[in-house]
């Protein structure tokens, strides 16, 4: 078994990954400084499995990473530490750049300074790197990349991107080896930068880079107090408080919701392989809508029906989902959402 360094190992995905790695017999080292936006207390550290070594380290602080790599010399690195707020990234660009980009370069430089090359490095990237992704112009069937939607169109409730011909358009599923990455917000740009940095370094150093572009991850354990948490957890907070869920745009925002256990499976699977570089999408392979998910949550919580508000958030994309589920079974959305609601009200 291997020594595995997990950055961000006290986070939503990280805690599940750490438990699985320990169960598989690995020695696990966690680097997580417990940002108060996500961790209001130290309960995440206290919940780590016995034997896990925790370092309260910020990835933007190079000397701290130097010490961890020099002491533990991990064969595998799972790099989860990141700032993830899409909207927040527009107003706190430097913070996102420091944690996501400089934090990644610090990690790589720490390996170099220690004279240590991990066998593999796993990065959790994001479907956000695709931006609006590919769309089809229904006038002639051509594929186009619309870029970021502009406030003038959104104010006019023109929710779908404009096609080159002006005809109606429809979205195409994200596919790692087909869809061009075209970030439309700061967060997405930093995640794509992480991908390039990691792939370049690992290729040169003869390590393996495994990049997972995660769709929208949800499930029990996601922070209910973080205002930039996943949309389904935010919906569950409102619904379990007896409040109506407010749905943006016209409700037909397309997303691929993938349950936390399924994501943990994919991260650990990537961590335990070393056969060259890989780049994969991690999703359910199904397009759902924000409104349909809101109705499932409201029903499970006994809350009022969701309300479609017509509001919007700059930088959000209209539609995103993975072309496939990598041939592996995924937790059905209705089952996963009921589990989320049960967790929120203490029924689990």
Dump the DSSP string for 251-263: S--EE-EEEHHHH
Measured from the Cβ of residue 227, the count of other Cβ atoms closer than 10 Å reads 10
State the pLDDT at residue 105: 98
Q: How far apart are CA 79 and CA 6, in angstroms?
A: 6
DSSP states of 222-236:
S-SS-TTS-HHHHHH
Q: Which of 59, 206, 192, 182 minimizes the C-alpha distance to 119?
A: 206
- Domain limits, the chain: 3-134+172-344, 135-148+157-171
Query: What phi, psi does 295 have (nearest 5°)?
Result: -65, -40
Report in angstroms the alpha-carbon separations of 332 from 2, 159, 267, 288, 323.
33, 27, 19, 11, 16
Contact of 9 with 49, CB cutoff 8 Å: no
State the pLDDT at residue 108: 98
Kindly provide the residue ranges of all beta strands, DSSP E only, lying in the chain, ordered along the sequence: 3-7, 27-31, 53-55, 76-79, 120-126, 135-137, 143-144, 169-171, 208-214, 216-218, 246-247, 254-255, 257-259, 278-282, 288-289, 307-308
- Flag residues of the chain having pLDDT under 50: none
Alpha-carbon dihedral angle through residues 183, 187, 192, 193, given to the nearest 10 degrees: 120
Q: What is the domain class of 3-134+172-344 according to CATH?
A: alpha beta
Contact of 66 with 114, CB cutoff 8 Å: yes
Give residue-wise pLDDT tens across range 150-192.
999 999 999 999 999 999 999 999 999 999 999 988 999 999 9
State the pLDDT at residue 36: 67
Q: How far apart are CA 74 and CA 266, in angstroms?
A: 20
* Sign of the alpha-carbon dihedral angle for 210, 219, 27, 98: positive
Give residue-wise pLDDT tens across range 288-324.
999 999 999 999 999 999 999 999 988 889 999 999 9
**Opening angle at CA 127, ends 124 and 130, nearest 5:** 130
State the pLDDT at residue 315: 80
State the pLDDT at residue 328: 92
Q: Which of 187, 218, 234, 312 is catalytic?
A: 187
**Opening angle at CA 218, ends 247 and 180, nearest 5:** 85
Question: pTM (2 decimals)?
Answer: 0.94
- 130 counts as catalytic: no
């Amino acid at each position: 078994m291997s020594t595995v360094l997990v950055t961000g190992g006290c986070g939503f995905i990280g805690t599940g990954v750490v438990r699985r790695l320990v169960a598989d017999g690995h020695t696990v080292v966690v680097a997580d400084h417990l940002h108060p936006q996500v961790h209001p207390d130290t309960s995440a550290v206290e919940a780590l499995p016995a034997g896990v070594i925790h370092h309260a380290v910020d990835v933007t602080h190079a000397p701290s990473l130097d010490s961890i790599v020099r002491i533990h010399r991990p064969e595998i690195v799972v790099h989860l530490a990141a700032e993830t707020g899409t909207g927040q990234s527009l107003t706190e660009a430097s913070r996102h750049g420091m944690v996501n980009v400089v934090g990644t370069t610090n990690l790589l430089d720490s390996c170099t300074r220690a004279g240590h090359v991990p066998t593999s490095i796993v990065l959790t990237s994001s479907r956000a790197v695709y931006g609006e992704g590919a769309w089809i112009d229904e006038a002639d069937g051509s594929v186009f990349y619309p870029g970021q939607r502009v406030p003038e169109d959104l104010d006019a409730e023109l929710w779908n991107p404009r096609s080159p011909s002006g005809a109606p358009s429809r979205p195409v599923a994200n596919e790692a080896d087909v869809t061009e990455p075209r970030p439309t917000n700061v967060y997405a740009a930093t995640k794509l930068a992480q991908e390039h940095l990691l792939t370049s370094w690992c290729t040169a150093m003869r390590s393996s880079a495994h990049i997972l572009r995660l769709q929208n991850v949800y499930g029990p354990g996601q922070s209910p107090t973080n205002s930039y948490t996943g949309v389904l957890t935010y919906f569950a907070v409102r619904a379990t408080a007896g409040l109506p869920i407010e749905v943006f745009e016209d409700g037909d925002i397309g997303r691929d919701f993938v349950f936390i256990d399924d994501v943990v499976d994919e991260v650990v699977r990537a961590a335990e392989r070393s056969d060259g570089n890989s780049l994969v999408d991690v999703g359910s392979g199904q397009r759902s809508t924000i409104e349909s998910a809101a109705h499932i949550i409201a029903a499970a919580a006994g809350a009022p029906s969701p309300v479609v508000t017509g509001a919007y958030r700059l930088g959000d994309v209209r539609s995103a989902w993975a072309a496939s589920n990598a041939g592996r079974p995924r937790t059905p959305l209705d089952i996963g959402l009921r589990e989320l609601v049960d967790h929120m009200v203490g029924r689990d």
